[in-house]
Structure 1
């Protein structure tokens, strides 16, 4: 179960690296506009806001990677719990205030990873 939980945590981290790239570097491209449901004008007007948002997603990814690489397993699990809860809270907030699909796209992987981390460490 530890291997499964580590893989799921890594996938959540990878997803947030992808979001970082979309928001920081590809925000005005058709790919990002389609992903986030924005128009070219809106994307141009909000480019700096999106980059800031992308940076925060990068911090979540970095924290999750740190949790997987930390030499103290107990502290690593605590980091996993903290950062997965942060992702889950952000997904809930985004799902309520922005797009419901955020709950599925970002929230569901985080919730599943969170459950596996808890079960693996009972």
Structure 2
């Protein structure tokens, strides 16, 4: 069965949004437990960077909001604009994270966003 490109774009966009919900949780409410382990931080380092990570989690929440608006807005042009904006921001943030923090961010964050953008523009 061949999926319509638009449906595939929506599914990938939803997956990117869900990945970022998880990232928001890791950087905020789960930071002292699971987040600290995922980011490989000692208890001491985690205590120092916790305010910055919480702030970063807030920004990731804005990316989730843009993607969700893109998925749910009834006006196709507005939905498309939010989707492209959200996926492009995720891709850029992922590239920056891959360069400055950890290369695996390129696979976890950037690649899915780029696939979502490609499918969106192909639809």
TM-score, length of structure 1 as denominator length: 0.93
User: Is 1-10 or 31-40 further displaced after alignment?
Assistant: 31-40
Partners of 2:41 and 2:114 in 1: CA distance? 27
Deviations 1:16-69 (A, max 9, x none): 11100110111111x212211211111111111111000100100011000111
Select which of 25, 35, 40 maps to 2:38. Answer: 35
Runs of 4+ in 1 over 6 A off after TM superposition: none
Shift of residue 88 of structure 1? 0.4
Structure 2 portions without partners, runs of 5+: none
Is 1:67 matched with 2:70?
yes
Partners of 1:74 and 1:47 in 2: CA distance? 38
2:112 corresponds in structure 1 to 109
Select which of 19, 22, 25 maps to 1:18. Answer: 22
Cα RMSD for the two superposed structures: 0.9
Structure 1 portions without partners, runs of 5+: none
